[in-house]
Amino acid sequence: MLKKVDSGQLKVGMYIHDLSCDWMTHPFVRNRFLITKDEEIGKIRSAGIHDVVIDVSRGLDVQDAPTVAEAAAQTEEELIALATKPVVPLRVPLGEELKRAAMIRHQASGLVRTVMQDARLGKAVQLEQVTPVVENITASILRNPGALVGLLRIKTADDYTFLHSVSVCTLLVAFCRSRGMDPDTTYQAGLGGLLHDTGKALVPDKILNKPGPLTDEEFAIIKKHPKDGYDILLKTPEIGPIPLDITLHHHERRDGSGYPDKQGEGTISELAQMAAIVDVYDAITADRCYHKGVSAAEALRKIYEWSKFHFNPQFAQEFMRCVGIYPVGTLVMLESGRLGVVVEPHETNLLAPKVNVFFNTKKNVYIKPETVDLSKALGFGGGDKIVRHESAAKWQVDPMKFLVVAG
């Protein structure tokens, strides 16, 4: 049986099943292990890990701890309470924006690749090349954020580093827009998002793309990238304080467990806190050579749980409302037994988005795709509801192929 426990309850003899943290916080070469000494417990706590999952069939138990299922049910109940808040209305349909978004994705990833190459050569970032890309991303977000955000969930090992920066820019612009921030601040935040990992240009590829957990020495090198990026951007004429702050502090955490400055609550800027949420969300949803990405819906639930210690809880909740409890591109199981992909959030009820259904799980067959508006009753294009988010690998389907249903 798996249980969720506070790290303060850990004892030698317990078996760690999941450290319940984003991979950049991970202080161990293994994710599952038997605790054999107090030093291991201290290492978990000093890394800012507050909740872990233990396997009581393989080690000591904590009698009053909730099971993983019970903890997940509690989280889901709390999320439902957040699900009836207004979201920013869309200007154009998803299908109309997807083609433009694909071009912007290609343009932006190429730019980030160039920035990284220049940084390795000691060159300053050319802001005149970056500005049009950030403006194009912002324009796409204003039209329909789901298009570019959805496309950016598709990453390969070769383009991850570049597309991650584009994703952080895109999500941060959408986050700023949903919070009603002014255009100049939103642009500066987007610029910071696009350039936030510039320091990784100085990290050796064998460490950056290592197919396994990092050693303490390798992790120390990785942790230098915010300061390295900050120093690189300082050479850039007319760079503003917001991109510099985001680059330097996007790995800081509210409980002081982050890096490089171990800033705590009250000292991390608003935009750096927002960037931290976006950065982790995109990182943990991506497939990497050393870990399998989680679904967007699952990532949001992790962000919500971690916000008790690592992130500003209010910002975490606002980010969830920004992208939706079930973000565009999420595979969901409906009460009818059909699988569908979320294509558009509802304006006030995040539990009732528009979904393109395409698979009948009861018969294990594809069906003619159709758009179902879950906010409407049966006979009016609706009459169904989401039961849970699903794994595409489990059903061996590609939901991204069904983002648009032919009319």
Q: Which residue carries 């950016």 as its tokens? A: 152
Q: What is the pLDDT of residue 133?
A: 97
CA dist 24 and 37 (Å) reads 23
The one-digit pLDDT tens for each residue of the chain (407 residues) are 999 999 889 999 999 998 877 655 555 667 789 999 999 888 888 888 888 999 999 999 999 899 988 888 888 888 777 766 666 777 898 889 999 999 999 999 999 999 999 999 999 999 999 999 999 999 999 999 999 998 898 887 778 889 999 999 999 999 999 999 999 999 999 999 999 999 999 999 899 888 777 888 998 999 999 999 999 999 998 899 999 999 999 999 999 999 999 999 889 999 999 999 999 999 999 887 667 788 888 999 999 999 999 999 999 999 998 998 899 999 999 999 999 999 988 878 888 999 999 999 999 999 999 999 998 876 666 679 999 999 898 999 999 899 887 65
Residue 217, Cβ neighbours under 10 Å: how many? 8
pLDDT at 84: 64
Rounded distance, CA 189 to CA 20, Å? 28
Q: What are phi and psi of 300, to 5 degrees?
A: -65, -35
Inter-CA distances, 363 with 78, 258, 313, Å: 33, 48, 42
Contacts of 115 (CB under 8 A, 6+ apart): 125, 130, 195, 198, 201
Give the pLDDT score at 18: 86
Taking residue 51's Cβ as centre, other Cβ atoms within 10 Å add up to 18
Closest CA to 23 of 289, 272, 230: 289
> Considering the entire predicted model, what is its pTM?
0.88
* Spatial separation of the C-alpha atoms in residues 104 and 352, rounded to whole Å: 29
How far is residue 170's CA from residue 305's CA, in Å, rounded to a whole number?
23
How far apart CA 255 and CA 395 sit, in angstroms, is 39
Strand ranges inside 208-360, DSSP E:
331-334, 338-344, 354-360
| The predicted structure's pLDDT at residue 35 | 92
Q: What is the pLDDT of residue 290?
A: 67
Show the 3-state SS of 148-162. HHHHCCCCCCCCHHH
**Helix, strand, coil % (nearest 5) of the chain?**
50, 15, 40
